[in-house]
Amino acid sequence: MISVRKTFLPCAVLLALSGLTGRVLAKLPPDLPGEEVSKEMFRRAIPRDTIGAQRVGPQKKDSLTWYDRAARTWEAPPLTEQMSVERGSVPMGMGGIFVPRFTEANDEPDVEILSADGESVKSGEPGQTFSVEPGNYFVMIGSGSHRQRLVRKVEVTESKTTPVMPDWSGLTIETVDSTTIAFRGEYELLRIDEFEPHGRGFGADPELGEKSKTWVLKPGTYKILGRGEGYNNLRNFITVRLLPGELVNVLLVQRPSDMAIISGGTVDVRPGTRIASHWKYGINIGGNLQFTGEIDRRVEQQKINSVLSLRTGLWLRFNLQPFEWESNLLLDEGLNLSETNFEDVVAAPDDFRVISLFVWRIFSWAGPYGRSELRTDLLPSKIRREETKQNFCILDKDSTIARFDTATSFRERPSFGELSLDIDAGANIDVINFRFLEIKLRGGLGFSYNHFRDRFDKVSASAVAGDSATIAQIGNSLIMMPFDAKSTKEFGPQGSATGNLRIGRVATASGELRVFAPIVPEMRLTRPDFDLTVTLSWRLARALTLDYDYTYELEQPEDEATRKNVSTHKIYLRFSYASR
């Protein structure tokens, strides 16, 4: 026991001395390099995102059922498939950021990658891999001004591609007329749950090979307004709700004359059936039978109107990047069955079209296109005799009277009486495609062929070469004059330039200039036709917006009766108020 104590005491003394020495020699570590980033500095460097952490429920890692439902609405493949076919590779020592797309390439706004200190390091289209050095980054994506875009934080590791989960929404708006013919319509977009105007949008012009662009927006409820309408207007608008991760296709039916909204909604007029991996077709058939009866008891007159109409659309589409081809067959026929005599049946409307469009996107920003359209009428065209006229006066080609006819209708044109063929080809180039400035140039050639078969047209009594004995009878007749078959051809270069400028959330400016210089049948290279449209919009206050529209049309053919030189100025001061 004595020997053990003697051994233990020196050991305890040594341990105590070593602990005391460690405390004396210990120092605090040096401060971390750099400057601490406060919340105020972070908010100044990174744009405000209205979707806070409490509202980003779908990004929970424990459940991705929201993503599975949302991906079914995309036109593009799912996220994993997009990443697997992406050709970009991450260099050694670098990492990658992948931002998926909802629609086809070049249809969505560009993505911008910011470093941790707010500096822009990469930008480009969604659907590709952005190679960056390992670290923390912020991904900016979305439509609208700088402050309206979405911001997502991404941590990048070496030799790994990190995807950004798409909790934003996509909105595609296709503008058509009441006969489902696409045209370049115009509308305004407003988020009504937080009152956030996003400016004006335009439909695609099929004659120029355009496609409808996709809005990338924060989830919420949006209002689509007709051109120049107030934000709180209760007419000329539709609403749409956007959910996280979903792509919504809206069909906007407008009147081409004044861009008024007739109807609209989340209706896909071409859902289609897939033939193969890159082929799709579809058919739409509709019609109506309408009976109308009107009795005017003052004059003891009764009118009965019966109309049978049929509208059919057949389309075939091929899409394999970089090639896109689509053909449409449109048939719109109507018969007025008011008379019991089927020989007097009048066709109205009578429209048969075959449209084909081919686009070759050599680059994401440029590529040629070609378009053709064949249009004719299938049924004979008839004209009904007015009730104030007693008969038809049929003339010969020398303007002399051939005969009088007491029938209730007369055939003006035979079947396929008018045939037109339009062929256009050109190129579309995106000169500048920044988040605040877009400039596009288009150029090409156009050819138009029109053929009119032998026909009759209504003329005035002054065109009749007859004696005075028939003047009274002519005055009570509908005069029809025969015309020989005729063909016309027109050919010439055409070009256009479009631009959009966004100055923060305060102002937007857009403009389009079209130029057409016919060569055939008349040379007018020094006297081309111009069509200019300019729109300026200022947001003076939260509930006050000032818009200015300017249009100028100049047509300079040889025939003075068809010339045009018109300019229009329009100013809109729009007020809106809502209690929130």
CATH number for the domain harbouring residue 86? 2.60.40
Q: How many CA atoms lie within 13 A of 458 on its CB side?
A: 12
Same domain, 461 and 348: yes
Q: Looking at residue 172, what is its pLDDT? A: 92
Same domain, residue pair 381 and 434: yes
Amino acid at 295: I
Same domain, 237 and 332: no
Most confident of 194-203, 285-294, 419-428: 419-428
Residue 310: closest CA among 326, 290, 338: 290
Give a yes or no: residue 29 inside a domain: no
End-to-end Cα separation, the chain, in angstroms: 88
Sheet holding 237-242, edge to edge: 196-202, 186-191, 220-225, 237-242
Angstrom distance (rounded) from CA 477 to CA 392 = 5
396 has pLDDT over 50 = yes
Strand stretches in 133-209, DSSP E? 135-141, 150-156, 161-163, 169-176, 186-191, 196-202
Secondary structure class of 425 (helix, strand, coil): strand
pLDDT digits (tens, 9 = 90+) for 107-149: 888 888 999 888 888 888 888 889 999 999 999 998 877 778 8
CB atoms within 10 A of CB 166: 27
Q: Which of 230-234, 399-403, 455-459, 552-556 has the lowest mean pLDDT?
A: 230-234
Question: Chain-wide mean pLDDT for the chain?
Answer: 77
Asked whether residue 306 falls in the same domain as residue 411, the answer is yes
Condensed to tens digits (0 to 9), the pLDDT of residues 341-371 reads 555 566 666 778 888 888 787 876 778 888 8
Q: Which residues contact 36 (CB under 8 A, 6 or more apart)?
A: none
Q: Do residue 317 and residue 427 come from a single domain?
A: yes
- Is the per-residue pLDDT at 399 higher than 70? yes
The sign of the CA dihedral 396, 400, 404, 410 is: positive
Q: Residue 237's Cα: distance from chain center in Å?
A: 16
Question: Which residue, among 237, 187, 194, 202, has the nearest Cα to 219 in the 3D structure?
Answer: 194
Is the same domain home to 252 and 301? no
Please tell me the distance from the alpha carbon of residue 341 to that of residue 500, in angstroms, as a whole number: 58
Position 337 in a domain: yes
C-alpha–C-alpha distance, residues 372 and 530, integer Å: 23
Mean pLDDT along residues 300-322: 71
Residue 82 within a domain: yes
Q: Is residue 18 part of a domain?
A: no
Q: Give the Cα separation of 107 and 143 in Å (integer).
A: 12
pLDDT value at position 8? 46
Q: Measure the CA–CA gap between 491 and 489, rounded to whole angstroms.
A: 7
% of the chain with per-residue pLDDT over 90 = 10
> 1-15, 123-137, 317-331, 340-354: which has the highest mean pLDDT?
123-137
Residue 298, in any domain of the structure? yes
Look at residue 31 and tell me if it is in a domain: no
When pLDDT is cut at 50, 70 and 90, the band that residue 207 belongs to is low
Among the residue ranges 32-41, 250-259, 459-468, 560-569, the one predicted with the least confidence is 32-41
Average pLDDT over residues 53-65: 45
Residue 461 has, within 13 A of its CA and on its CB side, a CA count of: 12
Last residue of one domain, picked from the residues 166, 186, 201: 166
- Same domain assignment for residues 243 and 158: no
What is the average per-residue pLDDT within 518-526?
A: 87
pLDDT digits (tens, 9 = 90+) for 170-205: 999 988 887 677 788 889 888 887 778 887 888 887
85 or 18, which is more confident? 85
pLDDT of 49 reads 45
For the cut 90, the answer to whether the pLDDT of residue 555 exceeds it is no
| Structural domain span for residue 477 | 291-493
Question: Which region among 12-26, 200-214, 266-280, 540-554 has the lowest average model confidence (pLDDT)?
Answer: 12-26
Reply yes or no: is the peptide bond before residue 349 cis, omega within 30 of 0: yes
- Say whether both 448 and 475 belong to one domain: yes
Residues 539 and 431 in one domain: no
- Per-residue pLDDT, 300: 59
Q: State the pLDDT confidence band at 242, using cuts at 50, 70 and 90.
A: very high
C-alpha to C-alpha distance for 434 and 253, rounded to whole angstroms: 30
Which of these three, 134, 149, 166, is where a domain ends? 166
- Is 524 part of a structural domain of the chain? yes
Same-domain check for residues 147 and 182: no
pLDDT over 70 (residue 548):
yes
For 35-53, how does the pLDDT look when each residue is reduced to its tens digit (9 = 90+)?
554 555 445 444 444 333 3
CB atoms within 10 A of CB 173: 24
Residues 258 and 322 in one domain: no
Asked if omega into 521 is within 30° of 0 (cis), the reply is yes
Q: What's the CATH code of the domain at 177?
A: 2.60.40.10
In this predicted structure, what is the pLDDT of residue 305? 61
Annotate 140-152 with DSSP letters as a single string.
EE-SSSGGGSEEE
Task: Report whether 451 contacts 485 (CB < 8 A).
Answer: yes
Number of domains, the chain: 4
Cβ–Cβ < 8 Å for 481, 399: yes
Instruction: Concatenate the DSSP letters of all residues of 305-359 into one string.
Output: EEEEEEEEEEEEEEEETTEEEEEEEEEEEEEE--SS-GGG-EEEEEEEEEEEEEE
Query: Can you tell me whether residue 572 is helix, strand or coil?
Result: strand
pLDDT computed for residue 580 by the predictor? 45
Query: Higher confidence at residue 473 or residue 244?
Result: 244
Which residue matches tokens 């500095």?
41
Q: Do 92 and 161 reside in the same domain of the chain?
A: yes
C-alpha span between 315 and 280 (Å, rounded): 8
> Per-residue pLDDT tens for 478-501?
888 888 888 878 889 988 888 888
Report d(CA 209, CA 216) in Å as an integer. 22
What digits encode the pLDDT tens for the residues 426-453?
887 878 777 677 888 888 888 888 888 8
- Residue 476: pLDDT band (50, 70, 90) is confident
pLDDT score recorded for residue 217 = 92
Residue 26 has pLDDT above 50, yes or no: no
Asked if omega into 322 is within 30° of 0 (cis), the reply is: yes
In the DSSP assignment, the letter for residue 398 is T
Q: What pLDDT is stored for residue 56 in this prediction?
A: 38
> What pLDDT, on a 0 to 100 scale, did the predictor assign at position 343?
57
- Which is more confidently placed, 257 or 188? 188
pLDDT band at 215 (very low <50, low <70, confident <90, very high): very high
Residue found under tokens 């605090």: 28
Whether the predicted pLDDT of 29 surpasses 70: no
Region 76-86: what's the mean pLDDT? 83
**Long-range CB contacts for residues 84-89, cutoff 8 Å, separation at least 24:** 86/127, 86/128, 86/129, 88/128, 88/129, 88/131, 89/129
Higher pLDDT: 223 or 38? It is: 223
Say what the pLDDT of residue 58 is. 40
Helices marked H in 404-470 — which ranges? none
pLDDT number for residue 261? 92
Closest CA to 420 of 446, 444, 445: 446
From 110, 137, 166, the end of a domain falls on 166
Instruction: Say how far apart CA 204 and CA 181 lie, in whole Å.
Output: 11
C-alpha pair distances (Å), 99 with each of 71, 125, 143, 271, 522: 14, 9, 15, 26, 52
Question: In the prediction, which pLDDT does 302 show?
Answer: 59
